[in-house]
Structure 1
Amino acid sequence: MLKTKKNSASTYLLATFFGLFVLFLYGPMFAVFILSLQGPEGQLTFPMRGFSFHWLKAVFEVQRVGNFIEPFGRSLSLGLLVTVFTVVISVMAGLAFRRRFVGSNLVFYLTISSLIVPSILVSLGIGIVFGLVGLDNQWYSSALAGHLTWTLPFAFLIMLGIFGRFNPSYEEAARDLGASEVTTFWQIVFPLIAASVIGVGLLGFTLSYDEFTRTSLISGETNTLPLEIFGMTTNVTSPALYALGTLTTVFSFVLIGLGLTAIQFLSRRQNNT
Protein backbone atom coordinates (compact mmCIF):
# COMPACT_ATOMS: atom_id res chain seq x y z
CA MET A 1 0.00 0.00 0.00
CA LEU A 2 1.31 3.42 -0.95
CA LYS A 3 1.71 5.84 1.89
CA THR A 4 0.60 9.37 1.30
CA LYS A 5 3.14 11.99 2.19
CA LYS A 6 1.91 14.38 4.84
CA ASN A 7 2.02 18.04 4.07
CA SER A 8 4.44 20.01 6.19
CA ALA A 9 3.62 23.19 8.08
CA SER A 10 5.47 25.24 5.47
CA THR A 11 3.11 23.93 2.76
CA TYR A 12 0.07 25.22 4.64
CA LEU A 13 1.86 28.49 5.38
CA LEU A 14 2.69 29.04 1.71
CA ALA A 15 -0.85 28.09 0.66
CA THR A 16 -2.25 30.60 3.15
CA PHE A 17 0.11 33.27 1.89
CA PHE A 18 -0.92 32.57 -1.70
CA GLY A 19 -4.60 32.74 -0.75
CA LEU A 20 -4.08 36.11 0.92
CA PHE A 21 -2.18 37.31 -2.14
CA VAL A 22 -5.05 36.32 -4.45
CA LEU A 23 -7.51 38.01 -2.10
CA PHE A 24 -5.38 41.16 -2.17
CA LEU A 25 -5.39 41.14 -5.98
CA TYR A 26 -9.01 40.31 -6.65
CA GLY A 27 -10.78 41.34 -3.44
CA PRO A 28 -11.36 44.96 -4.54
CA MET A 29 -12.62 43.77 -7.91
CA PHE A 30 -15.19 41.45 -6.32
CA ALA A 31 -16.26 44.28 -4.02
CA VAL A 32 -16.99 46.38 -7.11
CA PHE A 33 -18.92 43.48 -8.66
CA ILE A 34 -21.08 43.08 -5.55
CA LEU A 35 -21.80 46.80 -5.17
CA SER A 36 -22.83 47.03 -8.81
CA LEU A 37 -25.70 44.61 -8.14
CA GLN A 38 -27.52 46.81 -5.63
CA GLY A 39 -31.05 48.03 -5.86
CA PRO A 40 -32.12 51.51 -7.04
CA GLU A 41 -31.39 52.94 -3.59
CA GLY A 42 -27.85 51.62 -3.60
CA GLN A 43 -24.90 53.70 -2.47
CA LEU A 44 -21.15 53.67 -3.05
CA THR A 45 -20.27 51.76 0.13
CA PHE A 46 -21.39 48.71 2.05
CA PRO A 47 -23.82 47.48 3.24
CA MET A 48 -25.74 46.61 0.10
CA ARG A 49 -29.21 48.01 -0.37
CA GLY A 50 -31.18 45.34 -2.16
CA PHE A 51 -30.25 43.24 -5.18
CA SER A 52 -31.03 43.99 -8.82
CA PHE A 53 -29.51 44.69 -12.22
CA HIS A 54 -30.68 48.31 -12.08
CA TRP A 55 -27.23 49.89 -12.20
CA LEU A 56 -26.03 47.60 -14.99
CA LYS A 57 -28.86 48.98 -17.11
CA ALA A 58 -28.16 52.52 -15.91
CA VAL A 59 -24.72 52.42 -17.53
CA PHE A 60 -26.42 52.77 -20.92
CA GLU A 61 -28.59 55.68 -19.78
CA VAL A 62 -27.91 59.37 -19.13
CA GLN A 63 -25.92 59.83 -15.91
CA ARG A 64 -26.28 62.55 -13.31
CA VAL A 65 -22.62 63.40 -13.89
CA GLY A 66 -20.66 62.37 -16.97
CA ASN A 67 -21.37 59.94 -19.78
CA PHE A 68 -20.24 56.40 -20.52
CA ILE A 69 -21.28 55.48 -24.04
CA GLU A 70 -19.36 58.05 -26.09
CA PRO A 71 -16.09 57.74 -24.09
CA PHE A 72 -16.32 53.96 -24.40
CA GLY A 73 -16.68 54.29 -28.16
CA ARG A 74 -13.62 56.54 -28.28
CA SER A 75 -11.56 54.16 -26.15
CA LEU A 76 -12.68 51.18 -28.23
CA SER A 77 -11.94 52.79 -31.60
CA LEU A 78 -8.63 54.19 -30.36
CA GLY A 79 -7.67 50.83 -28.88
CA LEU A 80 -8.41 49.01 -32.13
CA LEU A 81 -6.43 51.59 -34.11
CA VAL A 82 -3.49 51.33 -31.71
CA THR A 83 -3.68 47.53 -31.96
CA VAL A 84 -3.38 47.59 -35.76
CA PHE A 85 -0.43 50.00 -35.74
CA THR A 86 1.27 48.16 -32.89
CA VAL A 87 1.02 44.76 -34.57
CA VAL A 88 2.10 45.96 -38.02
CA ILE A 89 5.02 48.10 -36.83
CA SER A 90 6.29 45.57 -34.26
CA VAL A 91 6.22 42.70 -36.78
CA MET A 92 8.08 44.81 -39.35
CA ALA A 93 10.60 45.87 -36.70
CA GLY A 94 11.07 42.27 -35.59
CA LEU A 95 11.79 41.25 -39.17
CA ALA A 96 14.22 44.12 -39.62
CA PHE A 97 16.18 43.29 -36.47
CA ARG A 98 16.77 39.69 -37.50
CA ARG A 99 19.90 41.07 -39.16
CA ARG A 100 22.17 43.74 -37.79
CA PHE A 101 22.35 46.99 -39.70
CA VAL A 102 24.06 50.33 -39.32
CA GLY A 103 22.56 52.16 -36.35
CA SER A 104 20.54 49.17 -35.10
CA ASN A 105 21.69 49.69 -31.50
CA LEU A 106 20.71 53.36 -31.62
CA VAL A 107 17.26 52.52 -33.02
CA PHE A 108 16.79 49.84 -30.37
CA TYR A 109 17.59 52.12 -27.45
CA LEU A 110 15.52 54.97 -28.87
CA THR A 111 12.56 52.62 -29.22
CA ILE A 112 12.58 51.45 -25.62
CA SER A 113 13.55 54.83 -24.18
CA SER A 114 9.90 55.88 -23.91
CA LEU A 115 9.52 53.23 -21.19
CA ILE A 116 12.14 55.09 -19.14
CA VAL A 117 11.16 58.70 -19.81
CA PRO A 118 8.27 59.83 -17.56
CA SER A 119 4.98 59.59 -19.41
CA ILE A 120 4.12 63.19 -18.50
CA LEU A 121 7.16 64.46 -20.41
CA VAL A 122 6.35 62.25 -23.39
CA SER A 123 2.77 63.53 -23.47
CA LEU A 124 3.84 67.17 -23.14
CA GLY A 125 6.30 66.73 -26.02
CA ILE A 126 3.64 65.15 -28.22
CA GLY A 127 1.21 67.92 -27.40
CA ILE A 128 3.75 70.59 -28.33
CA VAL A 129 4.72 68.92 -31.61
CA PHE A 130 1.12 68.33 -32.69
CA GLY A 131 0.31 71.91 -31.76
CA LEU A 132 3.07 73.17 -34.05
CA VAL A 133 1.77 71.19 -37.02
CA GLY A 134 -1.84 72.17 -36.34
CA LEU A 135 -3.14 68.81 -35.12
CA ASP A 136 -3.61 69.71 -31.49
CA ASN A 137 -7.41 69.69 -31.85
CA GLN A 138 -7.46 66.23 -33.44
CA TRP A 139 -7.60 64.12 -30.30
CA TYR A 140 -7.39 60.79 -32.12
CA SER A 141 -4.11 61.67 -33.83
CA SER A 142 -2.29 62.93 -30.74
CA ALA A 143 -3.78 60.18 -28.55
CA LEU A 144 -2.73 57.59 -31.11
CA ALA A 145 0.84 58.90 -31.06
CA GLY A 146 0.88 58.99 -27.27
CA HIS A 147 -0.43 55.45 -26.90
CA LEU A 148 2.02 54.09 -29.46
CA THR A 149 4.92 55.41 -27.37
CA TRP A 150 3.59 53.09 -24.66
CA THR A 151 2.54 50.00 -26.63
CA LEU A 152 5.25 49.79 -29.30
CA PRO A 153 8.26 49.25 -26.99
CA PHE A 154 6.57 46.28 -25.30
CA ALA A 155 5.42 44.79 -28.61
CA PHE A 156 8.86 45.39 -30.13
CA LEU A 157 10.64 43.53 -27.32
CA ILE A 158 8.18 40.63 -27.59
CA MET A 159 8.65 40.34 -31.35
CA LEU A 160 12.43 40.37 -30.92
CA GLY A 161 12.10 37.36 -28.63
CA ILE A 162 9.75 35.61 -31.05
CA PHE A 163 11.97 36.06 -34.08
CA GLY A 164 15.05 35.29 -32.00
CA ARG A 165 13.73 31.72 -31.54
CA PHE A 166 12.42 31.42 -35.09
CA ASN A 167 14.04 28.68 -37.19
CA PRO A 168 15.14 30.22 -40.53
CA SER A 169 15.35 26.80 -42.20
CA TYR A 170 11.64 27.02 -43.05
CA GLU A 171 12.22 30.19 -45.03
CA GLU A 172 15.29 28.77 -46.73
CA ALA A 173 13.31 25.72 -47.84
CA ALA A 174 10.55 27.94 -49.23
CA ARG A 175 13.05 30.04 -51.18
CA ASP A 176 14.70 26.91 -52.55
CA LEU A 177 11.28 25.94 -53.92
CA GLY A 178 11.04 29.28 -55.71
CA ALA A 179 8.82 31.24 -53.29
CA SER A 180 9.22 35.01 -53.21
CA GLU A 181 9.86 37.01 -50.03
CA VAL A 182 6.21 38.04 -49.79
CA THR A 183 4.95 34.50 -50.35
CA THR A 184 7.44 33.13 -47.84
CA PHE A 185 6.25 35.55 -45.19
CA TRP A 186 2.51 35.00 -45.66
CA GLN A 187 2.65 31.25 -46.30
CA ILE A 188 5.45 30.22 -43.93
CA VAL A 189 6.45 32.86 -41.40
CA PHE A 190 3.13 34.46 -40.50
CA PRO A 191 1.25 31.19 -39.76
CA LEU A 192 4.05 30.22 -37.37
CA ILE A 193 3.95 33.51 -35.47
CA ALA A 194 0.19 34.14 -35.75
CA ALA A 195 -0.54 33.08 -32.17
CA SER A 196 2.14 35.44 -30.86
CA VAL A 197 0.82 38.24 -33.05
CA ILE A 198 -2.63 37.80 -31.50
CA GLY A 199 -1.05 38.05 -28.06
CA VAL A 200 0.76 41.23 -29.04
CA GLY A 201 -2.49 42.65 -30.37
CA LEU A 202 -4.31 41.90 -27.11
CA LEU A 203 -1.50 43.50 -25.15
CA GLY A 204 -1.57 46.61 -27.33
CA PHE A 205 -5.33 46.96 -27.02
CA THR A 206 -5.27 46.49 -23.25
CA LEU A 207 -2.51 49.05 -22.72
CA SER A 208 -4.32 51.58 -24.90
CA TYR A 209 -7.80 50.93 -23.49
CA ASP A 210 -6.61 51.50 -19.90
CA GLU A 211 -4.10 54.30 -20.54
CA PHE A 212 -4.71 57.39 -18.43
CA THR A 213 -1.58 59.50 -17.90
CA ARG A 214 -0.56 59.98 -21.53
CA THR A 215 -4.14 60.53 -22.64
CA SER A 216 -4.92 63.13 -19.98
CA LEU A 217 -2.42 65.61 -21.41
CA ILE A 218 -3.11 65.22 -25.13
CA SER A 219 -6.83 64.48 -25.50
CA GLY A 220 -8.01 68.02 -24.86
CA GLU A 221 -11.68 68.32 -23.97
CA THR A 222 -12.55 64.92 -25.46
CA ASN A 223 -12.44 62.18 -22.83
CA THR A 224 -11.71 58.53 -23.25
CA LEU A 225 -13.31 56.09 -20.83
CA PRO A 226 -10.52 56.18 -18.17
CA LEU A 227 -10.59 59.99 -18.19
CA GLU A 228 -14.38 60.03 -17.91
CA ILE A 229 -14.28 57.63 -14.97
CA PHE A 230 -11.66 59.77 -13.22
CA GLY A 231 -13.78 62.85 -13.76
CA MET A 232 -16.81 61.12 -12.29
CA THR A 233 -14.92 60.06 -9.16
CA THR A 234 -14.31 63.71 -8.32
CA ASN A 235 -18.05 64.46 -8.34
CA VAL A 236 -21.11 62.98 -6.71
CA THR A 237 -21.79 59.77 -8.61
CA SER A 238 -23.68 56.49 -8.23
CA PRO A 239 -23.13 52.71 -8.26
CA ALA A 240 -23.37 52.97 -12.07
CA LEU A 241 -19.63 53.57 -11.88
CA TYR A 242 -19.22 50.13 -10.28
CA ALA A 243 -21.54 48.64 -12.88
CA LEU A 244 -19.32 50.07 -15.58
CA GLY A 245 -16.34 48.37 -13.95
CA THR A 246 -18.23 45.09 -13.97
CA LEU A 247 -19.18 45.39 -17.63
CA THR A 248 -15.70 46.42 -18.75
CA THR A 249 -14.21 43.49 -16.83
CA VAL A 250 -16.61 41.13 -18.60
CA PHE A 251 -15.67 42.82 -21.87
CA SER A 252 -11.98 42.23 -21.15
CA PHE A 253 -12.55 38.56 -20.37
CA VAL A 254 -14.54 38.17 -23.58
CA LEU A 255 -11.62 39.62 -25.56
CA ILE A 256 -9.19 37.29 -23.81
CA GLY A 257 -11.48 34.34 -24.53
CA LEU A 258 -11.69 35.27 -28.20
CA GLY A 259 -7.93 35.60 -28.36
CA LEU A 260 -7.33 32.23 -26.73
CA THR A 261 -9.89 30.62 -29.01
CA ALA A 262 -8.16 32.07 -32.06
CA ILE A 263 -4.78 30.86 -30.79
CA GLN A 264 -6.09 27.32 -30.24
CA PHE A 265 -7.69 27.31 -33.68
CA LEU A 266 -4.44 28.39 -35.32
CA SER A 267 -2.45 25.81 -33.34
CA ARG A 268 -4.78 22.98 -34.39
CA ARG A 269 -4.71 24.14 -37.99
CA GLN A 270 -0.91 24.25 -37.94
CA ASN A 271 -0.68 20.77 -36.41
CA ASN A 272 -3.07 19.36 -39.01
CA THR A 273 -1.04 20.79 -41.86
Structure 2
Amino acid sequence: MSLREKRAASFWPLALVFSLFVLFMYGPMLVIFILSFQGPEGGLTFPVRGLSLHWFYKLAEGLGVVDIGAALRRSLGLGLAVMACTVVLSVLAGLAFRKKLKGGNALFFIVVASLIMPSIIVSLGIGLEFRLLDTGIKAALGAFGMDSALEGFGTSLGLFTSALGAHLTWTLPFGLLIMFAVFNRFSPSYEEAARDLGATPWQGFRHVVLPLIAPSVVGIGMFGFTLSWDEIARTSQAIGDVNTLPLELQGLTSTVTTPSIYALGTVTTIVSFVVMGLTLALVWLLGRGRKGRASA
Protein backbone atom coordinates (compact mmCIF):
# COMPACT_ATOMS: atom_id res chain seq x y z
CA MET A 1 0.00 0.00 0.00
CA SER A 2 1.48 3.36 -1.05
CA LEU A 3 1.79 6.25 1.35
CA ARG A 4 -0.75 8.25 -0.62
CA GLU A 5 -3.35 5.50 -0.58
CA LYS A 6 -6.00 6.16 2.03
CA ARG A 7 -7.15 3.52 4.48
CA ALA A 8 -10.73 2.31 4.42
CA ALA A 9 -13.16 4.23 6.61
CA SER A 10 -13.68 1.15 8.80
CA PHE A 11 -9.95 0.73 9.57
CA TRP A 12 -9.68 3.02 12.58
CA PRO A 13 -12.86 1.86 14.38
CA LEU A 14 -11.78 -1.77 13.90
CA ALA A 15 -8.25 -0.95 15.04
CA LEU A 16 -9.68 0.69 18.16
CA VAL A 17 -11.85 -2.35 18.92
CA PHE A 18 -8.88 -4.67 18.44
CA SER A 19 -6.67 -2.52 20.69
CA LEU A 20 -9.31 -2.53 23.42
CA PHE A 21 -9.61 -6.30 23.09
CA VAL A 22 -5.83 -6.76 23.47
CA LEU A 23 -5.83 -4.42 26.46
CA PHE A 24 -8.71 -6.36 28.03
CA MET A 25 -6.91 -9.68 27.50
CA TYR A 26 -3.39 -8.74 28.59
CA GLY A 27 -3.93 -5.63 30.71
CA PRO A 28 -4.55 -7.54 33.97
CA MET A 29 -1.38 -9.59 33.41
CA LEU A 30 0.64 -6.42 32.84
CA VAL A 31 -0.81 -4.84 35.99
CA ILE A 32 0.17 -7.88 38.07
CA PHE A 33 3.72 -7.77 36.67
CA ILE A 34 4.10 -4.07 37.48
CA LEU A 35 2.70 -4.26 41.02
CA SER A 36 4.83 -7.31 41.90
CA PHE A 37 8.05 -5.29 41.48
CA GLN A 38 7.17 -2.63 44.05
CA GLY A 39 9.30 -1.62 46.98
CA PRO A 40 8.68 -2.55 50.64
CA GLU A 41 6.04 0.19 50.97
CA GLY A 42 4.04 -1.12 48.01
CA GLY A 43 0.37 -1.98 48.23
CA LEU A 44 -2.23 -3.88 46.27
CA THR A 45 -3.24 -0.92 44.11
CA PHE A 46 -1.66 1.94 42.20
CA PRO A 47 0.31 4.15 42.49
CA VAL A 48 3.50 2.06 42.39
CA ARG A 49 5.73 2.70 45.41
CA GLY A 50 9.35 2.07 44.56
CA LEU A 51 10.97 -0.60 42.39
CA SER A 52 12.65 -3.71 43.79
CA LEU A 53 12.51 -7.51 44.14
CA HIS A 54 11.40 -7.19 47.78
CA TRP A 55 8.15 -9.13 47.39
CA PHE A 56 9.86 -11.95 45.53
CA TYR A 57 12.21 -12.36 48.49
CA LYS A 58 9.20 -12.36 50.80
CA LEU A 59 7.61 -15.00 48.58
CA ALA A 60 10.72 -17.19 48.90
CA GLU A 61 10.50 -16.90 52.69
CA GLY A 62 6.93 -18.27 52.59
CA LEU A 63 3.41 -16.93 52.88
CA GLY A 64 2.19 -17.78 56.35
CA VAL A 65 1.42 -21.48 56.83
CA VAL A 66 1.27 -22.16 53.10
CA ASP A 67 4.23 -24.12 51.68
CA ILE A 68 4.53 -22.52 48.27
CA GLY A 69 7.53 -24.65 47.31
CA ALA A 70 5.66 -27.91 47.95
CA ALA A 71 2.61 -26.66 46.05
CA LEU A 72 4.85 -25.66 43.15
CA ARG A 73 6.46 -29.12 43.07
CA ARG A 74 3.05 -30.79 43.15
CA SER A 75 1.81 -28.68 40.25
CA LEU A 76 4.95 -29.37 38.23
CA GLY A 77 4.75 -33.10 38.90
CA LEU A 78 1.07 -33.27 38.04
CA GLY A 79 1.57 -31.14 34.93
CA LEU A 80 4.36 -33.38 33.65
CA ALA A 81 2.29 -36.52 34.32
CA VAL A 82 -0.71 -35.02 32.51
CA MET A 83 1.52 -33.97 29.63
CA ALA A 84 2.96 -37.49 29.22
CA CYS A 85 -0.42 -39.23 29.45
CA THR A 86 -2.04 -36.73 27.07
CA VAL A 87 0.67 -37.21 24.44
CA VAL A 88 0.68 -41.01 24.59
CA LEU A 89 -3.09 -41.47 24.69
CA SER A 90 -3.78 -38.82 22.04
CA VAL A 91 -1.29 -40.32 19.59
CA LEU A 92 -2.59 -43.84 20.16
CA ALA A 93 -6.19 -42.70 19.78
CA GLY A 94 -5.33 -40.75 16.64
CA LEU A 95 -3.73 -43.84 15.12
CA ALA A 96 -6.71 -45.99 16.11
CA PHE A 97 -9.26 -43.60 14.59
CA ARG A 98 -7.50 -43.72 11.22
CA LYS A 99 -9.33 -47.00 10.70
CA LYS A 100 -13.05 -47.57 10.69
CA LEU A 101 -13.99 -48.40 14.26
CA LYS A 102 -17.25 -49.96 15.29
CA GLY A 103 -18.82 -47.48 17.69
CA GLY A 104 -16.09 -44.95 16.90
CA ASN A 105 -18.50 -42.04 16.61
CA ALA A 106 -20.04 -42.76 19.99
CA LEU A 107 -16.59 -43.10 21.54
CA PHE A 108 -15.51 -39.79 20.05
CA PHE A 109 -18.54 -37.92 21.40
CA ILE A 110 -18.04 -39.49 24.83
CA VAL A 111 -14.44 -38.24 24.88
CA VAL A 112 -15.24 -34.67 23.85
CA ALA A 113 -18.38 -34.45 26.01
CA SER A 114 -16.25 -33.43 28.98
CA LEU A 115 -15.48 -30.15 27.21
CA ILE A 116 -19.09 -29.03 27.53
CA MET A 117 -19.66 -30.36 31.04
CA PRO A 118 -19.23 -27.79 33.83
CA SER A 119 -15.77 -28.32 35.27
CA ILE A 120 -16.93 -28.29 38.88
CA ILE A 121 -19.48 -31.04 38.11
CA VAL A 122 -16.73 -33.18 36.58
CA SER A 123 -14.61 -32.63 39.67
CA LEU A 124 -17.47 -33.50 42.03
CA GLY A 125 -18.27 -36.65 40.04
CA ILE A 126 -14.67 -37.89 40.07
CA GLY A 127 -14.36 -37.12 43.77
CA LEU A 128 -17.54 -39.09 44.46
CA GLU A 129 -16.30 -42.03 42.39
CA PHE A 130 -13.07 -42.25 44.36
CA ARG A 131 -14.89 -41.94 47.68
CA LEU A 132 -17.06 -44.88 46.64
CA LEU A 133 -13.85 -46.68 45.70
CA ASP A 134 -12.50 -45.93 49.18
CA THR A 135 -15.59 -47.49 50.71
CA GLY A 136 -15.16 -50.61 48.57
CA ILE A 137 -11.46 -50.92 49.41
CA LYS A 138 -12.11 -50.56 53.13
CA ALA A 139 -14.89 -53.15 52.98
CA ALA A 140 -12.60 -55.58 51.11
CA LEU A 141 -9.75 -55.08 53.57
CA GLY A 142 -12.11 -55.67 56.49
CA ALA A 143 -13.59 -58.77 54.86
CA PHE A 144 -10.14 -60.30 54.38
CA GLY A 145 -9.09 -59.46 57.93
CA MET A 146 -6.32 -57.09 56.85
CA ASP A 147 -6.71 -54.85 59.87
CA SER A 148 -3.22 -53.31 59.70
CA ALA A 149 -3.69 -52.31 56.07
CA LEU A 150 -7.15 -50.97 56.90
CA GLU A 151 -5.76 -48.78 59.68
CA GLY A 152 -3.06 -47.40 57.41
CA PHE A 153 -5.39 -46.77 54.48
CA GLY A 154 -6.46 -43.17 54.11
CA THR A 155 -7.96 -42.44 50.73
CA SER A 156 -7.36 -43.20 47.07
CA LEU A 157 -7.93 -39.53 46.29
CA GLY A 158 -4.59 -38.03 45.39
CA LEU A 159 -2.35 -36.13 43.03
CA PHE A 160 -1.62 -38.95 40.59
CA THR A 161 -4.93 -40.78 40.89
CA SER A 162 -8.12 -38.73 41.01
CA ALA A 163 -6.49 -35.36 40.20
CA LEU A 164 -4.67 -36.88 37.22
CA GLY A 165 -7.93 -38.35 35.93
CA ALA A 166 -9.74 -35.05 36.39
CA HIS A 167 -7.12 -33.16 34.41
CA LEU A 168 -7.12 -35.75 31.63
CA THR A 169 -10.84 -35.16 31.11
CA TRP A 170 -9.81 -31.62 30.16
CA THR A 171 -6.62 -32.21 28.16
CA LEU A 172 -7.38 -35.42 26.24
CA PRO A 173 -10.19 -33.98 24.08
CA PHE A 174 -7.87 -31.21 22.89
CA GLY A 175 -5.11 -33.70 22.16
CA LEU A 176 -7.47 -35.97 20.27
CA LEU A 177 -8.87 -33.13 18.16
CA ILE A 178 -5.34 -32.03 17.25
CA MET A 179 -4.39 -35.57 16.22
CA PHE A 180 -7.54 -35.83 14.08
CA ALA A 181 -6.54 -32.66 12.25
CA VAL A 182 -3.00 -33.96 11.76
CA PHE A 183 -3.95 -37.39 10.44
CA ASN A 184 -6.67 -35.98 8.18
CA ARG A 185 -3.86 -34.31 6.22
CA PHE A 186 -1.41 -37.21 6.56
CA SER A 187 -0.75 -39.13 3.35
CA PRO A 188 -0.59 -42.92 3.83
CA SER A 189 1.79 -43.12 0.86
CA TYR A 190 4.73 -42.51 3.22
CA GLU A 191 3.87 -45.61 5.23
CA GLU A 192 3.25 -47.63 2.07
CA ALA A 193 6.70 -46.66 0.79
CA ALA A 194 8.23 -47.74 4.12
CA ARG A 195 6.47 -51.12 3.94
CA ASP A 196 7.65 -51.58 0.36
CA LEU A 197 11.20 -51.12 1.64
CA GLY A 198 10.67 -53.86 4.21
CA ALA A 199 9.89 -51.80 7.31
CA THR A 200 7.77 -53.35 10.03
CA PRO A 201 4.72 -51.43 11.34
CA TRP A 202 6.73 -50.30 14.37
CA GLN A 203 9.67 -49.19 12.21
CA GLY A 204 7.31 -47.35 9.90
CA PHE A 205 5.79 -45.50 12.84
CA ARG A 206 9.12 -44.74 14.50
CA HIS A 207 11.08 -43.63 11.45
CA VAL A 208 8.34 -42.22 9.20
CA VAL A 209 5.12 -41.29 10.99
CA LEU A 210 6.52 -39.99 14.28
CA PRO A 211 9.09 -37.60 12.75
CA LEU A 212 6.37 -36.11 10.51
CA ILE A 213 3.88 -35.55 13.32
CA ALA A 214 6.51 -34.63 15.95
CA PRO A 215 5.79 -30.85 15.97
CA SER A 216 2.09 -31.54 16.58
CA VAL A 217 2.97 -34.04 19.32
CA VAL A 218 5.12 -31.40 21.01
CA GLY A 219 2.20 -28.97 20.76
CA ILE A 220 -0.09 -31.49 22.43
CA GLY A 221 2.43 -31.84 25.23
CA MET A 222 2.45 -28.06 25.71
CA PHE A 223 -1.35 -27.98 25.78
CA GLY A 224 -1.41 -30.80 28.32
CA PHE A 225 1.03 -29.09 30.68
CA THR A 226 -0.35 -25.56 30.45
CA LEU A 227 -3.98 -26.65 30.82
CA SER A 228 -3.06 -28.69 33.89
CA TRP A 229 -0.76 -26.00 35.32
CA ASP A 230 -3.52 -23.45 35.96
CA GLU A 231 -6.55 -25.72 36.41
CA ILE A 232 -8.65 -25.04 39.51
CA ALA A 233 -12.24 -26.19 39.10
CA ARG A 234 -11.50 -29.78 38.03
CA THR A 235 -8.89 -30.10 40.77
CA SER A 236 -10.79 -28.67 43.70
CA GLN A 237 -12.97 -31.67 44.60
CA ALA A 238 -10.74 -34.43 43.22
CA ILE A 239 -7.31 -33.91 44.75
CA GLY A 240 -7.81 -35.08 48.31
CA ASP A 241 -6.00 -33.48 51.22
CA VAL A 242 -3.27 -31.62 49.29
CA ASN A 243 -3.38 -28.55 47.06
CA THR A 244 -1.78 -27.57 43.79
CA LEU A 245 -0.32 -24.11 43.29
CA PRO A 246 -3.45 -22.63 41.64
CA LEU A 247 -5.59 -23.82 44.56
CA GLU A 248 -3.15 -22.32 47.05
CA LEU A 249 -3.13 -19.10 45.03
CA GLN A 250 -6.93 -18.99 45.07
CA GLY A 251 -6.96 -19.43 48.84
CA LEU A 252 -4.29 -16.78 49.37
CA THR A 253 -6.29 -14.12 47.55
CA SER A 254 -8.51 -13.72 50.61
CA THR A 255 -5.74 -13.81 53.25
CA VAL A 256 -2.61 -12.22 51.76
CA THR A 257 -2.83 -8.43 51.65
CA THR A 258 0.64 -7.61 50.27
CA PRO A 259 2.13 -7.64 46.75
CA SER A 260 3.59 -11.08 47.53
CA ILE A 261 0.46 -12.50 45.93
CA TYR A 262 1.34 -10.58 42.77
CA ALA A 263 4.89 -11.93 42.91
CA LEU A 264 3.48 -15.45 43.05
CA GLY A 265 1.27 -14.72 40.04
CA THR A 266 4.29 -13.40 38.14
CA VAL A 267 6.31 -16.53 38.91
CA THR A 268 3.55 -18.88 37.74
CA THR A 269 3.10 -16.86 34.55
CA ILE A 270 6.84 -16.96 33.86
CA VAL A 271 6.79 -20.73 34.23
CA SER A 272 4.03 -20.91 31.62
CA PHE A 273 5.99 -18.67 29.25
CA VAL A 274 9.13 -20.78 29.74
CA VAL A 275 7.21 -23.94 28.85
CA MET A 276 5.73 -22.31 25.75
CA GLY A 277 9.14 -20.95 24.74
CA LEU A 278 10.80 -24.34 25.10
CA THR A 279 7.98 -25.91 23.12
CA LEU A 280 8.31 -23.43 20.26
CA ALA A 281 12.09 -23.89 20.24
CA LEU A 282 11.69 -27.67 20.08
CA VAL A 283 9.16 -27.40 17.25
CA TRP A 284 11.57 -25.13 15.36
CA LEU A 285 14.44 -27.57 15.87
CA LEU A 286 12.31 -30.50 14.70
CA GLY A 287 11.21 -28.58 11.62
CA ARG A 288 14.78 -27.57 10.84
CA GLY A 289 16.00 -31.14 11.24
CA ARG A 290 13.26 -32.44 8.97
CA LYS A 291 14.14 -29.91 6.27
CA GLY A 292 17.81 -30.86 6.58
CA ARG A 293 17.03 -34.55 6.10
CA ALA A 294 14.79 -33.79 3.14
CA SER A 295 17.50 -31.75 1.38
CA ALA A 296 20.24 -34.32 2.07
The equivalences for 1:99-118 within 5 A come to: 99-118=99-118
Q: Which residue does 2:248 correspond to in 1?
A: 228
For residue 126 of structure 1, what is the aligned residue in structure 2? Answer: 126
2:216 aligned with 1:196, yes or no?
yes
CA contact (8 A) 1:65 1:237 kept: no
Identical-residue share of aligned pairs (%): 54
Structure 1 residues 10, 107: closer, same or farther in 2, change over 3 A?
Answer: same
- Bigger drift between 163-172 and 15-24 goes to 15-24
In the alignment, structure 2 segments of 5+ residues that lack a partner are 135-154
Range moving further from structure 2, 79-88 or 7-16: 7-16
Unaligned runs of 5+ in 1: none
Partner of 1:241: 261
Stretches (4+) displaced over 4 A: none
Distance 1:237 1:68 in 2: 16
For residues 141 and 111 of structure 1, the distance between their equivalents in structure 2, rounded to whole angstroms, comes to 19
Displacement of 1:3: 6.4
Residue equivalent to 1:21: 21
Matched pairs, number: 272
Moved more, 107-116 or 201-210: 107-116
- The residue matched to 1:50 in structure 2 has which SS? coil
> Cα–Cα, structure 1 residues 59 and 236, in superposed 2: closer, same or farther, change >3 Å?
closer
TM-score by length of 1: 0.95
Identify which of 122, 134, 146 aligns with 2:166: 146
Counterpart Cα distance in 2 of 1:185 and 1:119: 36
Please give the TM-score of this superposition, normalised by the length of structure 2. 0.88
CA deviations on 1:33-72 (whole Å, 9 max, x unpaired) are: 1100111121111112211111122222121353321111
Q: Which moved more, 1:233-242 or 1:178-187?
A: 233-242
Q: What secondary structure does 2:160 align onto?
A: helix
Partner of 1:94: 94
Counterpart of 1:95 in 2: which secondary structure? helix
How far does residue 138 in structure 1 lie from its aligned partner after superposition? 2.7
Contact preservation (8 Å) 1:82, 1:144:
yes
- 2:279 matched residue in structure 1: 259
Match of residue 31 from structure 1: 31
Deviations 1:161-203 (A, max 9, x none): 1111101000000001110000000100000000000001100
Aligned match of 2:206: 186
**Is the contact made by 1:64 and 1:237 (CA closer than 8 Å) also made in structure 2?**
no
Q: Which runs of structure 2 are paired with 1:164-175 in the superposition (5 Å)?
A: 164-175=184-195
Check whether the contact 2:78–2:159 (CA below 8 A) recurs between aligned residues. Answer: no
The question of 1:157 aligning with 2:172 is answered no
